[in-house]
Amino acid sequence: MKWYIDLVIAYPILSAMVQFAILGTLGDMIAKWVQEKKLFMPFSFMITLWKMVEWAFLAILIKYAFVGFQGFVGGLIEHGMLPSYVENGVFRAFSVSFLMNAQFGLLLVLLHRILDYLPIGKVQWKGIDKGFYSLFWFWIPAHTVTFSLDKPFQIGLAAVWSLVLGLLLGLFNKK
């Protein structure tokens, strides 16, 4: 595990990009496999490549949000806008998760949808409500666990969660 921690500390943005490019794309593929029961490549090579680039780009935003919202919660505590018991442990993890998903999460869902449909030139807004709902039933609890971990493991677990959500959405949207 030391090699992973050293890598994530030395290259925080690049390591986030690689982890999300692989695991986020795999989550999209799993969702498609489950939905349509295709056993081989659910996307063309170019769409798969696009998804990897998309996830790598989103990883940059996610990494900055992870760092920024932890500072945001710290600032709110410092100014007495959140109670002091939020300073550590699960209350802090929940606060960071809730505030990040309630603010940045909405933007991320919209941006993710736009980027998903960019290659075909027309955004499909049907089902976007499921993306917004996932912030509350999935991402807030998942990121509460994520922000309970040491910082070097947080972005990696977030990338794993994107794969898990892909599987869940595939099961929920099975044809």
Per-residue pLDDT tens digits for 129-142: 999 999 999 999 99
Q: Indicate the pLDDT class of residue 163, thresholds 50, 70 and 90.
A: very high
Computed over every residue of the chain, the mean pLDDT equals 94
pLDDT at 115 over 90: yes
User: Cα(149)–Cα(146) distance, rounded to whole angstroms?
Assistant: 6
**In the predicted model, what is the mean pLDDT of residues 2-16?**
97
* Percentage of residues in the chain having pLDDT higher than 90: 86
Give the pLDDT confidence score for residue 23 in this predicted structure.
97
Longest dimension (CA), the chain: 54
Per-residue pLDDT tens digits for 50-106: 999 999 999 999 999 999 999 999 999 999 999 999 999 999 999 999 999 999 999
User: Cα(161)–Cα(139) distance, rounded to whole angstroms?
Assistant: 8
| 155 contacts 16 by C-beta, under 8 angstroms | yes
| 148 contacts 95 by C-beta, under 8 angstroms | no
